[in-house]
Structure 1
Amino acid sequence: MTRHHTPLILIALAAIGCNNPALAKTPQTDADAPRRIADAILAAQIEANGVPGMAAAVTRDGTLIWVGTAGYRDLERKLPVDPDTSFRLASVSKLLTATAAIMLHDRKRLDLDAPVQRYLPGLHLSWPADITPRHLAAHMSGIPHYQDVDAARGKVRFGSVNEAVAIFANRPLLFAPGTRYQYSSYGYTLLSAAIEGAADMPFLSFVSRAIIQDLPLRPDLAPDPAHDTVAYEFEGGAIRPAASHDYSYSWGGAGFRGTAHGVALFGARVMRDGFLSPKARAMMWTPSLMNDGTPVMEGEDRVAFGWRIRTDNDGQRIAHHAGAAIGARSALMLYPERGESVALLSNAVWVSDITETAAMLAAPFQADPTGPQTPCPIWASQYSGSFGDKPVTGTVRFAITDGICRGTLGLGNAAGDWFDALPQTSTDGLAVISILPGDRLDRGALVTPSGTYDFRRQPDGSFVAALSPARKFVVRLQR
């Protein structure tokens, strides 16, 4: 596995992200600090994870306030990612499909609790007649996800959604509808067929006209060499171009692509009054229940109508979805009460907590500058603490660079062993970047090969980053 060395000087110089040109002309005043910090986090993340290219965007109240890019959309030709680079959206595509279904429900053309067969008169399904659009959107229909027999699915262009449904229409259900949760992109293929029937037009046409409209999003039908990123994958720790792949078997589940600001603006549109009725939007974000009243869960998230719902460390409600596909890792996260939308896209699958990473890219725009002010620990030279249940020690260096407190935590311990085991590039040091400008480190972003995490100062003076409920990285700084 190739190792990346990330000394402090590289972190200080790693602001290779570039903003939207309209934003980049603004002088670097205090008002620009959140954008500079988000740029630095994105640049450090791509240095740590070895992914060729990434892009991210944040909106507030429908206005684009930051676009960041880092790395390359084409390594061979040395073409950098720019704000107009188009990435595969992977399963973030499901949010377009779920929103289309809710819009049709809003227009009284799709009953979410009616048998889906009502909208599929030309299709014969071998299953019981009690599968509904709500079952499909919340992954409790019993329809299986991709199986071994589907290994070559990306080599065929299906001429219609109905043809794609025929792939799995005769496969047995995994369980009775409404009794369990099992993620299924094929369920979204069937949901897209129901949308076609309710809209009385092809699925891609309805999504394009009613949902995408003027946004830089589109189905992955034909390549756009001027804007599309090459799809990459890791193999033996090295990055290489991925084989071509046709997503016509599940346009609604994984088949769209677009720019980071296009995805963020889609999220802003969903929150905008008038696009959906408040009642329909609330229904879309209401956690789903199984037949016995048990909430539908995926990890710590409640599964709503396509969207996942959770509460962050500050008590803010989040509606989100992430995706992974050949040559893509993606996330869209909404803060409905804040009116904020954040999108993060990349051109390779990487072992990542991408939702946490997206949240930390939004954090500089949400931080309260009037809170406690802990001076940047430029005095520290080492740390001790724990990683999960194992003790760790290492070197540490901090400095104030470009008006931001930044540092590096040296590894060579249990934390380093864990990151080295990931199937992508590793690092000898983890970047820490304060989410507030100036001489302070009350809260930072801990940038690792698996994603960026909230690095918070505790009352006892230590800093803690939760990589998972069972794995916390506790750091106590020392001289």
Structure 2
Amino acid sequence: MPLTSSRLTAACAFALLSVATSAMAADTCGTAPADAASATSQRLLQALVDTNGVPGMGAAVWRDGRVAWTGCAGLRDVDARAPVQRDTVFRLASVSKVIATTAAAKLIDEGRLDIDAPVGDTLPWLPPAWSRVTVRQLAAHISGAPHYAGNDLQTLGRIRYPTARDAVGYFSGRALLSPPGTAYRYSSWGYTLIGAMIEARAGEHFLDYVRRVTDGLDIGADGDAPATQAATLYDIEHGDARRVPRTDMSYTWPGGGLAATPEALVTFGGRLLEHRIVGAARWQAMQQPALLADGTPVHERDYEVGFGWRIGRDADGDRIAHHAGTTTGARSVLLLWPGQDTAVGVLSNAMWVSAIEPTAQLLAAPFRAPPSGLVAAACPTGARLTGTLKEARFDLAATFRLEHGRCVGDIAAPAPLRDFFASAYAWPGHRLRIVALADDGTLSRAALATPYGLYDLRAVREGEWTASLNATSTLTLTR
């Protein structure tokens, strides 16, 4: 029986789903925050949009069995002056990958998919070289599958692929870049092949199976949301926000072609944490690092690679599972703290240079227990500050004030900071903002809002604060 999608009324489905989930979160989209944690996260999100030049962003936090906060900042549509709202649907980009692997994991739990069997056993139409790879290898980017190349992204967005099998036909004639299981090579094409496996083993269209797995959430194909909900896509790399056309993402639905509201995304994460999509054992298995043929755990940068998820530690050593995404008109992340029933999602309607994982961690911080060992420090109102970055010492034109008990500071970035953030796509006024996480008049811990995102600024002693900007760069502020 041919695989055809039942998405004839997809836009209506998106609208109905938003109604079904509308009573879940502490909403700061257009209303005053009702609790201190929501007020803090909303203040951080607004500071971020004020600093990074992205037209609009949405975020949400899942905590203890519910969506604890949904926040909005900026504009969904610049020309119409339409603000981001609770039901705004953003591109997920590569965050789509963890939804695809969760769909595959559901099939494992149902006894319908063997992720260690050669995919050619299920898809006999594949060329011989591709037939030998496994879903486990595809999910961990160790299958040897290539990524986008040449003019792929310039041509693909104009082509509609009815099914994942059709999309696989675009690239399956290409050679593998390495023998399966021998090297990490990031590949979204590998996830398109996972989509074809899901369709074959589920017996239905990839999007239809994802809809069943996500069960009533605002998660679907990019482009299916009603115009009144869909975030307009923007390019901010070359000056003012420039609207860019929406492209057809059917070539990469499993690898980067889904869309969601922030609230739906963190609810998906929360359901995973609570074993409501796949069982506890399967969820634990998804978090285990994949192994290369020589037994080496697969890793990239500061994380290991599991079944779709990136596994690492946050700044305080707590274990996290996460995935980020970037594509035209989007920058995204979903980050979970396994064992803590906490998830955070951050979505944008423009691609931007960003430290997206630290940003997500800061937005969730007001809902988590504060780390031990925080140093008490007064808000430096009326004080002169100096900064140090990469051995450069400089004076700071900084002003601090108390806003309803919260210490907030604005900094005009001097040359060393302008140089550090020089690759930012946008940076209104070349200013940074500091927002304390507590509203008790102190500056013990704060978010440093920059064009790259939010960074964790902490007092190390009275009158001195530090923020780690990357593995080799720490900003120190001294009164």
> What TM-score does the superposition give when structure 1 sets the normalisation length?
0.90
Q: Distance in 2 between matches of 1:273 and 1:91?
A: 23
Q: Distance in 2 between matches of 1:191 and 1:465?
A: 40
Q: Distance in 2 between matches of 1:117 and 1:430?
A: 53
The answer (yes or no) to whether the contact 1:407–1:432 under 8 Å persists in 2 is yes
Match of 1:131 among 118, 130, 133: 133
The answer (yes or no) to whether the contact 1:233–1:327 under 8 Å persists in 2 is yes
Q: Does 1:234 align with 2:236?
A: yes
- 1:410 deviates by 2.8
Q: Distance in 1 between matches of 2:454 and 2:421?
A: 13
Q: What percentage of residue pairs aligned between the two structures are identical?
A: 39
Distance 1:320 1:353, change over 3 A: same
SS state at 2:157 partner: helix
Match of 1:116 among 97, 109, 119: 119
The answer (yes or no) to whether the contact 1:404–1:433 under 8 Å persists in 2 is yes
Matching residue of 2:357: 355
The answer (yes or no) to whether the contact 1:369–1:436 under 8 Å persists in 2 is no
Q: What RMSD, in angstroms, separates the aligned Cα atoms of the two structures?
A: 2.2
Match of 1:175 among 167, 178, 184: 178
Match of 1:87 among 87, 90, 104: 90
Structure 1 range deviating more: 384-393 or 405-414: 384-393
Matching residue of 1:159: 162
| Gap regions ≥5 residues in structure 1 | 1-18
Q: Distance in 2 between matches of 1:386 and 1:237?
A: 29
Match of 1:464 among 463, 466, 475: 466
Q: Does 1:202 align with 2:215?
A: no
Structure 1 range deviating more: 405-414 or 381-390: 381-390
Q: Distance in 2 between matches of 1:390 and 1:434?
A: 25
Q: Does 1:247 align with 2:249?
A: yes
The answer (yes or no) to whether the contact 1:85–1:227 under 8 Å persists in 2 is yes
Matching residue of 1:407: 409
Instruction: Spell out, residue by residue over 1:273-302, the C-alpha distance to the aligned partner (whole angstroms, 9 max, x if none).
Output: 342111100000111111111121121011
Match of 1:193 among 173, 192, 196: 196
Q: Distance in 1 between matches of 2:423 and 2:300?
A: 25
Distance 1:310 1:113, change over 3 A: same
Matching residue of 1:146: 148
The answer (yes or no) to whether the contact 2:28–2:71 under 8 Å persists in 1 is no
- 1:434 deviates by 0.9
SS state at 1:269 partner: helix
Instruction: Spell out, residue by residue over 1:399-418, the C-alpha distance to the aligned partner (whole angstroms, 9 max, x if none).
Output: 21022111123322201233
Matching residue of 1:48: 51
AA matched with 1:323: G
Matching residue of 1:432: 434
The answer (yes or no) to whether the contact 2:58–2:73 under 8 Å persists in 1 is yes
Q: Distance in 2 between matches of 1:102 and 1:235?
A: 38
The answer (yes or no) to whether the contact 2:273–2:339 under 8 Å persists in 1 is no
AA matched with 2:421: F
Distance 1:214 1:409, change over 3 A: same
SS state at 1:305 partner: coil
Q: Distance in 1 between matches of 2:246 and 2:223?
A: 12
Instruction: Spell out, residue by residue over 1:147-182, the C-alpha distance to the aligned partner (whole angstroms, 9 max, x if none).
Output: 004131111111221110011101011111111111
Matching residue of 2:301: 299
Distance 1:282 1:372, change over 3 A: closer
Instruction: Spell out, residue by residue over 1:325-354, the C-alpha distance to the aligned partner (whole angstroms, 9 max, x if none).
Output: 111110000011211010000000000111
- 1:374 deviates by 2.2
Q: Distance in 2 between matches of 1:93 and 1:293?
A: 28
> What TM-score does the superposition give when structure 2 sets the normalisation length?
0.90
The answer (yes or no) to whether the contact 1:56–1:260 under 8 Å persists in 2 is yes
| Gap regions ≥5 residues in structure 2 | 1-22
Q: Distance in 1 between matches of 2:27 and 2:178?
A: 51
Which runs of at least 4 in structure 1 moved beyond 6 Å after TM superposition? Answer: none
Distance 1:311 1:24, change over 3 A: closer
Q: Distance in 2 between matches of 1:392 and 1:272?
A: 49
AA matched with 2:436: S
Q: Distance in 2 between matches of 1:200 and 1:24?
A: 41
Structure 1 range deviating more: 92-101 or 291-300: 291-300
Matching residue of 2:9: none
SS state at 2:101 partner: helix
Matching residue of 1:267: 269
Q: Does 1:212 align with 2:225?
A: no
Structure 1 range deviating more: 136-145 or 371-380: 371-380
Distance 1:207 1:128, change over 3 A: closer
Distance 1:235 1:405, change over 3 A: closer
